[in-house]
Structure 1
């Protein structure tokens, strides 16, 4: 008789934000434990977060974020949205499992991750007078080549990624382009990057020099998802970005670029 090997279920952190039921939390925990168990016994930092956005204009109000660190793969994160909690949980866990498997088997996340998903969360419309910077985050940007930074962005499912360019030592940003593809912007000057097997192009212009209020004004006028700019005082690169709840967030480096 063949014995089935028991796969221990990993400890999963479940976080619920907004008006969601206890049943939704229990469903998320059960599904996440099953999916994360398939990623291997060395999987840790398993987490799933469900957020229900407020706003009648949002057709996919439930945002699910799942992340884990399987051994031999590194951190993987996916954030998607759907009309219901069950649908959001199913789509985010299925996508994360597929990306983790590809990273383990082929060493990359695949070009499909470059293009925007139809399940991408939507921004809640919020009057300008009500918008605030509700999160200020400081980071120590990792030193990466543009290609490495682009792969980090895809693995973590971010819209942009702030890093220190290993080629020039500058604060730099790689981000998704509308309609697909990736783009690189450096803080102070443009420099031709080497060959890449990713659809990565380079901005011919450096980041604009703006203070916080000027960056906020540009973000409002352009309706872009973020503004990458250099601070007039220290010359470091900063990001002011739109949050899905309609407010703003900011990211600033804390270590010297070298």
Structure 2
């Protein structure tokens, strides 16, 4: 069976691969994606792969067009590069597939450059420190995520307010993964309300916030709605849960915020800039 792209399809998902030199770029298509967009994405990802300073062992691209054209930025392009065993990923949404691929290329190229920079730094500085010496790039010793301070001694010592960029849960998950954060507070593109994305403990991502129906192709699962709590109530809830953070709503403003446990055993609080 073939799709309108002219490529073989299994269960509505089109997969093709083509070699560019020694690199094979696999492309998976979901929805009505033109053959030209497939070729364009394959060439762009292969082009980025040539910039890597380490061997690129494989490349996979996923192109998705939402079935409802009224959905804003209904074209999604994703890519992953296996750079000598390290998986680099990028993701972009746009109103048309070619624009999404252009954004994908820029983000993937940035990730490749950042990976190369980290690799050079690691090779330059890696070593074994003696005594209390620490050098940038040393492998950290195993330690607790935070200082084991008793709950009655904890205080909110850091309050941060950010202007949050509107994005989808998938975009927030990719940004969180790139930054290496435990959680990521963002403004949901569909609701205009604060939400948080985090790892679900099973290798995937989950989001918490106002419950809205998203496309079935989303990569992020929906968790429970956020509780409405005062700051003292949020502190008590966080201590009882044993979790590293708690997303909740301010009872006065109804805005979402995150209370989290810092490395020093105290609390930090992240809120969205007013609007």
- Please tell me the TM-score bracket, short chain as reference: 0.5 to 0.7
What's 1:162 paired with? 185
TM-score normalized by the length of structure 2: 0.50
TM-score (norm 1): 0.53
Q: Give the aligned partner of residue 213 of structure 2.
A: 192
Pairs within 5 Å for 1:67-216 = 72-73=109-110, 89-91=137-139, 122-186=145-209, 189-196=210-217, 198=219, 200-203=220-223, 205-216=224-235
Structure ID, larger Rg: 2
Offset at residue 177 of structure 1 (A): 2.1
Is the alpha carbon distance of 1:88 and 1:123 closer, same or farther for their aligned partners in structure 2, counting shifts above 3 Å? Answer: farther
CA contact (8 A) 1:76 1:155 kept: no
2:123 is matched with: none
List alignment gaps of at least 5 residues for structure 2.
1-52, 55-106, 119-127
Q: Is the 8 A contact 1:144 1:163 kept in 2?
A: yes
Please list every run of 5 or more consecutive structure 1 residues that lacks an aligned counterpart in the other structure.
1-37, 40-69, 93-117
Change (3 A) 1:129 1:88: farther
- Shift in Å, 1:190: 1.0
Partner of 2:257: 238
- Describe the superposition over 1:104-135 as per-residue Cα deviations: whole angstroms up to 9, x where unpaired: xxxxxxxxxxxxxx968622211122111111
- Alignment-derived partner of residue 240 in structure 2: 221
Question: Which residue does the alignment assign to 2:43?
Answer: none
Aligned length: 156
- SS of the equivalent of 2:175 reads helix
In structure 1, distance between residues paired with 2:243 and 2:261: 8
CA-to-aligned-CA distance 1:150-173 (integer Å, 9 cap, x gap): 111001110111111111211111
Cα distance in 2, alignment partners of residues 76 and 247 from structure 1:
32
C-alpha separation in 1, matches of 2:191 and 2:253: 18
Deviation for aligned residue 1:193 = 2.1
